[in-house]
A and B are shown apart, each in its own frame.
Chain A
């Protein structure tokens, strides 16, 4: 049963979105929705963009909205709660980090068939770094030199914001000076692997045992995005206009994000980090602004942790297809991504 069927209504989603917006903007007169589109981004939630114009008194108002709905069968469903996402965005609204303003969170499935959040539609574009056009976009932007700095600056802002003051402690705070953060991540992804019903994978067992045996101590705790790369960042006029995809954030080691930036997983044949930033420039700017030295050894550890996480994603994704809980062929295709990511991990482990 999909989210629409669960709603017990034959109305399509746009119609129900309109009805919902009308119920929230009770003072609005002459309310008009325009440019409604469902965009094909991400694998975990459905995303709808639309513009609303209305009048209050004699005054014309306008706002662009972005609505994310839990389709009920998506990847990472149990690890990516929309209520938490909404709360994170509320916390970040008070900080210098560019993020979409959150408006409403609804847990009641009677409204749209599933929980959803409504936030600001931030202006900008989010070119897909895996496509030819996206790669070309980032290459050209890299040559201009402004966007690479903005990419690094947004990450430094993320890593230096006062997460306690922002109210982000609810994410869970591992003990500083301990291996709690790294081991917690290993546990989290292991649970996803176990739940996937995937056949035993000895290479993955080796990787997990290695990760458990070599977990680094986390001396400094910051907010960690968990998937900081091009494709998860909105761009306008060569600047990051919003950091998106708040699904994997944790309080933990900032090197976890840095390792993701450094990873060759996110730059398909390009020398530029995330297809955008020269490595030396990233090191120089990141270290100068944050005052944190990039810990290569920790980054190597986290790169292997990402390999485990990727394996967990693909096992979970292909499991959803295999169990008949999703008909999205993209998920079926990920069954062949598991050996690819394990082969990379084996090489990193020295075999």
Chain B
């Protein structure tokens, strides 16, 4: 039995045996919500490796594309510097890059800003879709 299968079975037990056996409102809700949490955790665990690989591939592609786009859009120094932090700091670096884009919006011009942010958003959409597979 894999860890995710174990969590799923526990979720079923909480949902069908523990929850219905509790009369008091608060602990009953806790039991049913525990089932929900275990179910989500099981799904997240099952998809973890696949998602981690896809995230890494997508991040690499994003960095490659941005490197080229930064040249094409003549991005100012603070944006270039923030780009460098994506490689080092992962999501925290990407957050800094997004902030740098907004801060340099005038310097980039609307077109340059839209191209760069659009490429970042494309990557974010992929990541969101994957997370929704276990979050929704």
- Name A's B-contacting residues (CB within 8 A): 40, 199-203, 205-206, 209-210, 212-213, 328-330, 332-333, 336-340, 342-343, 346, 349-351
Contacts and interface: CB of A to CB of B under 8 A. Distances in A.
Interface stretch (B2-10, B67-75, B87-95): B87-95
Contacts of A351: 118, 121-122, 124-125
A329 B33 contact: yes
A200 B37 contact: no
B30 A329 contact: yes
A340 B135 contact: yes
B95 A200 contact: yes
Contacts of A40: 25-26, 29
Q: Chain A interface secondary structure, helix, strand, loop or mixed?
A: helix
Q: How large is the interface on B (under 10, 10 to 19, 20 to 34, 35 or more residues)?
A: 20 to 34
B38 to A, nearest CB: 10
A330 B122 contact: no
Contact of B128 (A203, A205, A330, A350): A203
Given A329-B30, A336-B134, A340-B132, A213 B102 contact: yes
B135 A346 contact: no
27 contacts: A40-B25, A200-B94, A203-B128, A205-B98, A206-B120, A206-B121, A206-B124, A209-B98, A209-B99, A209-B101, A209-B102, A329-B34, A329-B37, A330-B29, A330-B33, A333-B33, A333-B36, A336-B40, A337-B135, A339-B131, A340-B132, A340-B135, A340-B136, A342-B128, A350-B121, A351-B118, A351-B122
Interface string B29-53: 1100110110010000000000000
Nearest to A321: B37
Contacts, number: 79
B91 A202 contact: yes
Nearest to A336: B135
Nearest to B27: A329
A342 B105 CA distance: 23
Given A329-B30, A339-B131, A205 B37 contact: no
Contacts of B29: 40, 329-330
Given A206-B98, A209-B101, A339-B131, 15 more contacts: A200-B91, A202-B91, A203-B124, A205-B95, A209-B99, A209-B102, A328-B30, A329-B29, A329-B33, A329-B37, A330-B33, A332-B37, A338-B135, A340-B136, A351-B122
Given A336-B135, A343-B132, A351-B122, A202 B37 contact: no
A349 B124 CA distance: 12
A343 B33 CA distance: 22
A194 to B, nearest CB: 12
A2 B120 CA distance: 44
A213 B98 contact: no
A342 B125 CA distance: 10
A202 B40 contact: no
Nearest to A341: B135
Interface in B78-121: 90-92, 94-95, 98-99, 101-102, 105, 117-118, 120-121
Nearest to B93: A200
Given A201-B91, A206-B98, A212-B102, A346 B37 contact: no
A337 B124 CA distance: 17
Contact of A339 (B92, B102, B120, B132): B132
A148 B62 CA distance: 49
B92 A200 contact: yes
A210 B33 CA distance: 34
A154 to B, nearest CB: 29
Contacts of B101: 209
